[in-house]
Amino acid sequence: KAVTYEAYLAIFSDFSGVPKDVRTKKYCEYVQDLKDYLSSFIRRTQPLQDVDKLLRECQEEFEEKWEEEAGNEEDEMDRDFERGIDLDEVGGWEELAALGLEPLKAELTKLGLKCGGSLEQRAK
């Protein structure tokens, strides 16, 4: 979705709204490139600023928030696991295969279905 530069500046630092299916390797590279660009920008526009110190402080703040949120995400994952997979919502075997071997095996076991074979065989 295209946004204006002004709108981008207002939302670019809010990563919580990014859907999980968008958080790919390419997206991680984008975030790293963005960090590198902004660090370079600060170094060029504010040469007396201790950018390394600023980045360390940001990293520490991130790690604190990550620890606080980690428990919430684990609880959410547990609830998702307990709820199981709504097979009516699954688009195809590829979507099931994307879950991975062990989660798919656990779900098949919960449903009382055969769970042997390769990932592709289990998903089909």
Q: Tell me the per-residue pLDDT of 92-109, one tens digit each, with 9 for 90 and over.
A: 667 666 666 666 666 667
CA angle 100, 82, 99 (to 5 degrees): 10
Q: How far is CA 103 from the centre of its chain?
A: 18
99 located within any domain: no
Per-residue pLDDT at 74 exceeds 70: no
79 located within any domain: no
Residue 93's pLDDT is: 61
Token digits of residue 108: 């098949």
Residue 40's pLDDT is: 93
What residue numbers bound the domain in which 28 lies? Answer: 1-49
110 located within any domain: no
The number of distinct structural domains making up the chain is: 1
Return d(Cα 35, Cα 108) in angstroms, integer: 42
Exposure of 56 in the CB half-sphere (CA atoms within 13 A): 4
25 located within any domain: yes
Q: Which residue has the higher pLDDT, 79 or 120?
A: 120
55 located within any domain: no
42 located within any domain: yes
Token digits of residue 111: 């449903």
91 located within any domain: no
pTM of whole model > 0.85?
no
Mean residue pLDDT across the chain: 75
Q: Which residue has the higher pLDDT, 45 or 88?
A: 45
Share of the chain above pLDDT 90, in %: 19
Q: Which residue has the higher pLDDT, 40 or 87?
A: 40
Per-residue pLDDT at 60 exceeds 90: yes
Residue 30's pLDDT is: 87
Residue 71 near residue 82 (C-beta atoms within 8 A):
no
Over the stretch 3-39, which tens digit does the pLDDT of each residue have?
888 888 788 777 777 777 777 888 888 888 988 998 9
Residue 87 near residue 94 (C-beta atoms within 8 A):
no
- How far is the CA of 84 from the CAs of 14, 16, 55, 60, in angstroms? 29, 24, 40, 35
10 located within any domain: yes
